[in-house]
């Protein structure tokens, strides 16, 4: 249960692009072809490993419908990463990306890492948005880009892990004040460390145990 860092993610994008399926594939490694519409927000969690560090991902899967926008916006500020998802077989979901980005820029913290995801890559025969278009959009807006398939699990791990890696890099570079939990990052007790004290906002991140040297 112990982890070095905890990252909070949100998954955003139009309704029906496969956000909940991506989450389910990532947390439970299964695909559910028929999925109820997400009401409000759902939650998932998984532990991953980057450079030997245990990182806990907490992922909030939001409802894509317009009527839930005001609720889902409340999740932007506290997230360290966002997966912005569109459906490669439905062009309109690609066209709406700009408005999602605008929402995110307005409400999220400026350091939030956004990964652009073109989902349903298994449906090549119905493709309506080319890979190049996706890449182009990502490049223009400074996003990381991947095409995934929640059905075949293609690139799903990578989507979540690459985002985590990006955030981790930013931490290493000192972009974040990790003691401020409102960035969606929490410093854990480190691998192997038994549950000690708690991290209070304002406290420095717990120093790595030096007594053993």
H/E run at residue 20? helix 19-28
Query: Which residue lies nearer to another protein by CB, 15 or 27?
Result: 27
Q: How far is the CB of 147 from another protein (least distance, A)?
A: 28
Q: What minimum distance in Å lies between the beta carbon of 38 and another protein?
A: 10
Q: Yes or no: say if 3 and 47 are a contact pair by the CB < 8 Å rule.
A: yes
Burial 57-66 (b: 16+ CB within 10 A, else e): bbbbbbbbee
Say if residues 22 and 156 touch (Cβ distance below 8 Å): yes
Contact 50, 161 (CB under 8 A): yes
78 near another protein, judged by CB under 8 A: yes
Residue 163 CB, shortest distance to another protein, in Å, is 17
Residue 38 or 93 with smaller CB distance to another protein: 38
Within 16-55, the residues that bind another protein by CB under 8 A are 40-45
DSSP string for 138-180? HHHHT-EEEE-BTTTTBTHHHHHHHHHHHHHHHHHTT-S-TT-
Q: Which residues contact 176 (CB under 8 A, 6 or more apart)?
A: 111, 170, 183, 185
Q: Which of residues 73 and 166 has its CB atom nearest to another protein in the complex?
A: 73
| Angle CA 33–39–45, to nearest 5 | 70
Task: Among 34, 142, 173, 200, indicate the residue that binds another protein (CB under 8 A).
Answer: 200
Give the range of 14-22, 72-80, 87-95, 203-211 binding another protein by CB under 8 A.
72-80
From 70-78, 87-95, 115-123, 163-171, span contacting another protein (CB under 8 A): 70-78
Smallest separation, CB 71 to another protein (Å):
5
Q: Could you list the residues that contact another protein (CB under 8 A)?
A: 1-2, 6, 8, 40-45, 56, 58, 60, 70-71, 73-75, 77-78, 107, 181-182, 186, 195, 198, 200-201
């Amino acid at each position: 249960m112990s982890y070095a860092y905890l990252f909070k993610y949100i998954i955003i994008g139009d309704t029906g692009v496969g956000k909940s399926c991506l989450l389910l594939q990532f947390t439970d490694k299964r695909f559910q072809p028929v999925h109820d519409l997400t009401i409000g927000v759902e939650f998932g969690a998984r532990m991953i490993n980057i450079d030997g560090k245990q990182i806990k991902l907490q992922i909030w899967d939001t409802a894509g419908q317009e009527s839930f926008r005001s609720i889902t916006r409340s999740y932007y500020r506290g997230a360290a990463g966002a997966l912005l998802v569109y459906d490669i077989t439905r062009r309109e979901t690609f066209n709406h990306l700009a408005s999602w980005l605008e929402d995110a820029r307005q409400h999220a913290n400026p350091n939030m890492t956004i990964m652009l995801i073109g989902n349903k890559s298994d449906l090549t025969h119905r493709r309506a948005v080319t890979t190049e278009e996706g890449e182009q959009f990502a490049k223009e807006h400074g996003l990381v880009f991947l095409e995934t398939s929640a059905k075949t699990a293609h690139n799903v791990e990578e989507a979540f892990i690459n985002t985590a890696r990006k955030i981790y890099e930013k931490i290493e570079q000192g972009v974040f004040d990790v003691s401020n939990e409102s960035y969606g990052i929490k410093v854990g007790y480190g691998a192997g460390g038994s549950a000690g004290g708690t991290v209070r906002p304002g406290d420095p991140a717990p120093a790595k145990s030096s007594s053993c040297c």
